[in-house]
Amino acid sequence: MKAPSVLVIVLLSALALVACGGSDEAAEAPKPTSVTAADLDKDGTFWVSLTPDLKDELVDLGKSRLGEDRPDGAPGIKAVPTSDLIAEMEKDYANEAKRSTSIYVTYTAANDKIAQAKLNDALGGLDELCNGPTPPPECDE
C-alpha cells in the first residue's frame, strides 16, 4: 500500500509545480527598464541584458562620469561617438570571460581606445602633410 501513497505525493508535487508556474530551470531575471549611474558599476552580464536604448543611456552616463573623473579631457570625452563606444563594448562583452569586468571599466577602456585611434589618425595625417611636397609653414614650428 506504500506505492499508491508515493504516487500521490509525486502527482501532488507535479500539480503544485504546474500551479505555481515553476519549472526545474531557474527563472530568468526581469529585463531592466531603466538605468542609473550606479549601473556603471555592474558587470557585463547586466550590459548584455540591456536594450539598445538603455545601452545608449548608460554610455551617456559613462561619459558624464568620465568627464568628472578627467575634467581636463571632458570635451574630448563627449566627442567620442556613442555608437562607436557601444560597438566596442559589444565586442568586449561578446566574450563571456570578459563579462565579469565592470561596465565603467569597459567603457573607459573603449573610450581610451577610440580616442587614441582618432589621435593616431590625426597625427598620421599631420605627418603626411608636413612630409609632403609642399608642407605648410606650421610644420616648421
Domain membership flag for residue 135: no
Q: What is the pLDDT of residue 20?
A: 47
Residue 7 has a CB neighbour count (10 Å cut-off) of 10
Domain membership flag for residue 137: no
Domain membership flag for residue 4: no
**By residue range, what is the domain housing residue 103?**
33-130
Going 30 to 53 to 93 to 43, the CA torsion angle's sign is: negative
Domain membership flag for residue 136: no
Domain membership flag for residue 9: no
- Residue with grid cell 543611456, as numbered in its chain: 57
- Residue with grid cell 548608460, as numbered in its chain: 58
Q: What is the pLDDT of residue 9?
A: 53
- Residue with grid cell 609632403, as numbered in its chain: 132
Say whether pLDDT at 39 is over 50: yes
Q: What is the pLDDT of residues 77-91, one digit of tens each?
A: 888 999 999 999 999
- Residue with grid cell 568628472, as numbered in its chain: 68
Domain membership flag for residue 7: no
On whether the CB atoms of residues 130 and 140 are closer than 8 A, the answer is no
Considering its fold, how many domains does the chain have in total?
A: 1
